[in-house]
């Protein structure tokens, strides 16, 4: 059994076409299931239900219940089973409904998937792909609004991806499956309905490198996933003020692409990192530290961070909006970095000191 990574010769794929992030993901799954029979999809409600967010809708009909495997609500068991199956030569794609539930499988991800290769002295690579929905912004309150991808990006042995564009949603899965090590894919819940033209035949995504989504000269907005659209919108606003913002999409949260990040900062001399995780100990903190370590003498302003407020995500819409990175806050942070005027209150949540007490 050999996997081939030739892309489907679907005539529809030969020119730009309208699609959504959800459909792009589904296409990617379909392609993987078609091209490699070792691939199977396993998770809660992936089959008959069509996936909690509708990503796998229709796949059960095409590939059957063996390969589109509805699992009991037992994250630890089915993620662990995915790891075991990968050890035995399968190419499992495990879907965890949301990152919030991934905590129930954290032991398997951290203590097995990420460690087996090393612990066995190189004998046991774990070629598993684990997908999950992440992020807030849909009034799902404190237990369904986490952005914990930064935690996973802390773990050596894992590769962590965050597709933020239609192209990445469509073409990241193949290289993820080709990676011999465990890959986690975080799909921001706010992106599924994003629609647009999918460029034809872009080929597999380079998952080793970040992408500059918009070139600019004055400040680098470094972000990923669900915050990318916000950063791009902020860049539009800034352009109206004559500030040219470069937007860097990390794409891969581990291993971080220091080169692309660094080159951008070396060009613009200013950086703002946008991360939906909580500020303390966030991925944004890591990126900020790296920029400072590697490009201190290129910096013309402190590295800014726009993160989520340090609060369990509230349900009320206005509170949730206030807690999350928003376009205005990104604009304010960018203005501060380039030394322009910052409207008061634009990013009040951002400037709050982090304390141990409820503020």
Partner 1 sequence: MLRVRRFEERCVELYSAARIRGFMHLYIGEEAVAVGVNEALTDADAVVSTYREHGHALARGVPAEAIMAEMFGKVTGCSRGRGGSMHLFDAGRRFYGGNAIVGGGIPLAAGLALADRMTGRNRVTCCFFGDGAFAEGEFHETANLAALWELPLLLVCENNLYAMGTALARHQAQTDLALRAAGYGMVSWAVDGMDVFAVEDAARRAAEGIRAGTGPHFLEMHTYRFRAHSMYDPDRYRDKAEIEHWKERDPVEGLARRLRDAKELSDKARTALEDRLSAEIDGAVEAAEQAPDEPVEDLLKYVTSPVGVSRP
Partner 2 sequence: MTEFTMPSLGADMDEGVLQEWLVGPGDRVRKGDVVAVVETDKAAIEVECFESGTVGQLLVPPGTRVPVGTPLAVIQGEGAPEEQARIAAEQGSPLAAETVAEVPHRERARAPKGAKSEQEPLAHDERPRSRRKAVRERKPVQEPVRTKSPKKSAGQPVRATGSLTHPPPQMSPEAESALGAGPLVRHLAALRGLDLTTLHGTGPGGRITRADVEHAQPPLAPRVRATPYARRLARDLGVDLAALRGTGDGGAVRAADVHTAVRARDGRHEPGGPAERRRDDEQHPHIAVPTDSGAEQRKDTMRRAIADLMSRSKREIPHYYLSTTIDLTAAGDWLRRINRGRPPADRLVPAALLLKAAAVAAQQVPTLNGYWQNDGFVPGPAVNLGVAVSLRQGGLLAPVIHGADTLPPDALMTILKDLVERARRGKLRGSEMTGATLTVTNLGDQGVETVFGVIHPPQVALVGFGAVVERPWAANGMLGVRPLVTATLAADHRATDGAVGARYLTAVDRLLQKPEEL
Strands 271-278 and 304-308: parallel
Question: Is 144 tagged catalytic?
Answer: yes
| Interface with partner 2, residue 15, by CB under 8 A | no
What are the backbone angles phi and psi of residue 283, rounded to the nearest 5°? -60, -35
Residue choice 269, 305, 325, 331 for contact with partner 2 (CB under 8 A): 269
The entry of partner 1, partner 2, none that residue 143 binds, CB within 5 to 8 Å by partner kind: none
Return the CA Rg of the chain.
Answer: 20
**Among 6, 88, 356, 358, which residue sits at the site for partner 1 (rule: CB under 8 A)?**
88
CA distances from 285 to 41, 71, 136, 217, 329 (A): 34, 36, 20, 23, 17
| Interacting residues with partner 1 between 244 and 273 (CB under 8 A) | none
Of the residues 30, 146, 159, 170, which one makes contact with partner 1 according to CB under 8 A: 159
Identify whether 27 is a catalytic site residue: no
d(CA 25, CA 37): 18
Instruction: Choose from partner 1, partner 2, none: what does 144 bind? Cβ within 5-8 Å by kind.
Output: none
Cα angle, residue 34 at apex, residues 29 and 38 outer, rounded to 5°: 90
| Binders in 208-227 for partner 2, by CB under 8 A | 217-218
Considering only residues 52 through 71, tell me which ones interact with partner 1, judged by CB under 8 A.
66-67, 69, 71
Question: Which residue in 299, 311, 319, 322 binds partner 2 (CB under 8 A)?
Answer: 299
Secondary structure class of 54 (helix, strand, coil): coil
The answer to whether 122 contacts partner 1 (rule: CB under 8 A) is: yes
94 or 243: CB nearest partner 2: 243
> Token pair of 136, please?
């807030």
- Taking the CA atoms of 255, 260, 266 and 270 in sequence, report the sign of the dihedral they define: negative
181-200 residues in contact with partner 1 (CB under 8 A) are 181
DSSP per residue over 183-216, as a string?
A: EEEEEEGGGTT-EEEEPTT--S--TTS-EEEE--
Q: Is 89 helix (H, G, I), strand (E, B) or coil?
A: coil
Pairing of β 195-198 and β 159-161: unpaired
Q: Does 116 bind partner 1 (CB under 8 A)?
A: yes
Residue ranges that bind partner 1, judged by CB under 8 A: 2-3, 40, 66-67, 69, 71-72, 74-92, 107-108, 111-112, 116-125, 127, 156-157, 159, 177-181
Q: Which residues participate in catalysis according to the annotation?
A: 75, 144
Residue ranges that bind partner 2, judged by CB under 8 A: 217-218, 242-244, 269, 296-302, 336, 338-339
């Amino acid at each position: 059994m050999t996997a081939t990574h030739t892309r489907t010769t679907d005539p529809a794929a030969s020119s730009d076409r309208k699609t959504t992030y959800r459909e792009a993901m589904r296409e990617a799954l379909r392609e993987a299931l078609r091209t490699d029979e070792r691939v199977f999809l396993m998770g809660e409600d992936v089959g008959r239900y069509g996936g909690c967010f509708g990503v796998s809708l229709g796949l059960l009909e095409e590939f059957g219940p063996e390969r589109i495997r509805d699992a009991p609500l037992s994250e630890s068991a089915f993620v662990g089973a995915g790891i075991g199956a990968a050890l035995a030569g399968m190419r499992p794609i495990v879907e965890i409904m949301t990152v919030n539930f991934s905590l129930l499988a954290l032991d398997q991800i951290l203590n097995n998937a990420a460690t087996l290769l090393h612990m066995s002295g190189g004998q046991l690579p774990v070629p598993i792909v684990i997908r999950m929905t992440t992020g807030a912004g849909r009034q799902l309150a404190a237990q369904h609004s986490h952005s914990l991808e930064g935690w996973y990006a802390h773990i050596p042995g894992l590769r962590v991806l965050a597709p933020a564009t239609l192209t990445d949603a469509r073409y990241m899965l193949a290289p993820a499956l080709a990676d011999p090590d465990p890959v986690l894919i975080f799909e921001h819940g706010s992106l599924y309905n994003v629609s647009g033209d999918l460029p034809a035949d872009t080929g597999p995504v380079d998952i080793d490198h970040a992408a500059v989504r918009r070139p600019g000269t004055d400040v680098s907005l470094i972000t990923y996933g669900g915050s990318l659209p916000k950063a791009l919108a902020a860049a539009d606003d800034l352009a109206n003020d004559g500030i040219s913002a470069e937007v860097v999409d990390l794409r891969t949260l581990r291993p971080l692409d220091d080169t692309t990040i660094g080159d951008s900062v070396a060009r613009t001399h200013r950086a703002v990192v946008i991360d939906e995780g909580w500020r303390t100990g966030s991925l944004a903190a890591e990126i900020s530290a790296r920029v400072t370590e590697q490009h201190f003498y290129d910096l013309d302003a402190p590295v800014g961070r726009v993160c989520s407020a340090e609060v369990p995500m509230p349900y009320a819409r206005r509170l949730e909006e206030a807690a999350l990175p928003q376009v205005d806050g990104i604009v304010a942070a960018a203005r501060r970095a380039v030394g322009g005027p910052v409207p008061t209150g634009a990013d009040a949540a951002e400037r709050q000191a982090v304390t141990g007490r409820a503020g």
